[in-house]
């Protein structure tokens, strides 16, 4: 009996020591460099935002935030690195909406969404529905009428297979009851070039890529995806306002940590990132990129991630889009 009591007391002391050690580790976080994983190549919007946030975190915390580009497998490579990393707060993911779209598009995904925990939604994005001005189309209904009058003769461009623009395009085709051909491009740059050159008659263009062209005399903007009108285009209706409520989801950029990360660390990083995003400097940089700055806290971002995962699963299934 005495041995049992001694053993119990020893285990209790060990547990207390571990808890105290964990609390101290969280209290002095961060005390070494942080890896910020970007699952896409350098130079893109995700990479740019990661470096902006990373620079500010380095200045505020006095610890280096090292951005590492880990492109591959439509973002799954980088996502998986963070999903399987230790939950100590030192391996962070700069994710985009594709994170919640991938499980709806691929049967073989090396991680689960539940392996990651949301930290902060940094910014929202949207797709702009644009047509060459030479088409003479100025409203979405005019485009639909034109497509119905000549089935199979018009097309639409996306910035890649299985992207938001592809899924939005297929959903739009179904809802409008039109037959137009999908032309995928390797990114927004080639897609915009094709639009300006008249190779496509409609394009779902990411707002970041479209931003330099919104005042161009070569294109007309018919509508915007997302829940609200875009601040830079208050005169352009949303798809919902145009009669297509199934296209009301925004894209986003956000930070994630491994699911095993203590809540104290998640909350600390989330609060810091939210403050950075809401600073005048970062807010302006994001706005200049055509984005809508958010800066949410972890408990605010989590329900958005869950809602969007369900939405994109429904869109992928309804449009019969699969990458397997």
Residue 308, domain member (yes or no): yes
Q: Kindly give the confidence (pLDDT) of every residue in the chain, 324 residues in length, as a single tens digit, with 9 standing for 90 and above.
A: 444 555 555 555 555 544 444 444 457 899 999 999 999 989 888 999 999 999 999 999 999 999 999 999 989 999 999 999 999 999 999 999 999 999 999 989 999 999 999 999 999 999 999 999 999 999 999 999 999 999 999 999 998 888 899 999 999 999 999 999 999 998 888 999 999 999 999 999 998 888 889 888 999 999 999 889 999 899 999 999 999 987 878 899 999 999 999 999 999 999 999 999 999 999 999 999 999 999 999 999 999 999 999 999 999 998 888 887
Inter-CA distances, 151 with 143, 173, 178, 179, 302, Å: 12, 11, 7, 5, 42
pTM: 0.86
Of the residues 224, 247, 270, the one at which a domain ends:
247
- Residue 64 to residue 55: CA distance in whole angstroms: 8
Residue 111, domain member (yes or no): yes
Based on the domain organization, do 136 and 212 belong to the same domain?
yes
Number of domains in the chain: 2
Of the residues 247, 281, 302, the one at which a domain ends:
247
Residue 4, domain member (yes or no): no
What residue numbers bound the domain in which 158 lies?
127-247
Q: Which residues contact 235 (CB under 8 A, 6 or more apart)?
A: none
- Residue 155 to residue 204: CA distance in whole angstroms: 11
Based on the domain organization, do 140 and 85 belong to the same domain?
no
Based on the domain organization, do 153 and 223 belong to the same domain?
yes
Based on the domain organization, do 254 and 110 belong to the same domain?
yes
Residue 281, domain member (yes or no): yes
- Residue 1 to residue 15: CA distance in whole angstroms: 21
Residue 296 has phi, psi (to 5 degrees) of: -90, 165
């Amino acid at each position: 009996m005495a041995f049992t009591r001694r053993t119990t007391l020893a285990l209790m002391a060990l547990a207390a020591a571990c808890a105290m050690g964990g609390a101290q580790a969280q209290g002095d976080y961060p005390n070494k460099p942080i890896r910020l994983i970007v699952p896409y190549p350098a130079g893109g919007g995700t990479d740019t935002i990661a470096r902006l946030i990373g620079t500010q975190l380095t200045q505020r915390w006095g610890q280096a935030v090292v951005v590492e580009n880990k492109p591959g497998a439509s973002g799954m490579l980088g996502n998986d690195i963070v999903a399987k990393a230790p939950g100590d707060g030192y391996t962070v993911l700069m994710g985009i909406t594709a994170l919640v779209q991938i499980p709806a598009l691929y049967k073989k995904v090396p991680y689960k969404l539940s392996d990651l925990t949301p930290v902060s939604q940094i910014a929202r994005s949207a797709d702009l529905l644009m047509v060459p001005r030479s088409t003479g189309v100025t409203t979405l209904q005019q485009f639909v009428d034109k497509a119905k009058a000549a089935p199979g003769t018009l097309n639409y461009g996306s910035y890649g297979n299985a992207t938001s623009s592809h899924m939005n395009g297929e959903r739009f085709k179904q809802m409008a009851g039109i037959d137009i051909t999908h032309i995928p491009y390797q990114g927004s740059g080639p897609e915009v070039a094709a639009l300006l050159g008249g190779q496509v008659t409609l394009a779902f263009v990411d707002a970041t890529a479209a931003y330099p062209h919104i005042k161009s005399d070569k294109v007309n903007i018919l509508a915007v995806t997302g829940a609200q009108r875009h601040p830079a285009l208050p005169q352009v209706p949303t798809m919902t306002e145009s009669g297509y409520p199934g296209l009301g989801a925004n894209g986003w950029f956000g930070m994630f940590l491994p699911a095993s990360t203590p809540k104290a660390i998640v909350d600390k990083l989330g609060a810091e990132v939210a403050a950075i995003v809401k600073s005048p400097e970062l807010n302006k940089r994001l706005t200049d990129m055509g984005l809508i700055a958010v800066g949410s806290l972890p408990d605010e971002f989590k329900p958005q991630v869950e809602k969007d995962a369900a939405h994109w699963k429904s869109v992928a299934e309804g449009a019969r889009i699969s990458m397997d």
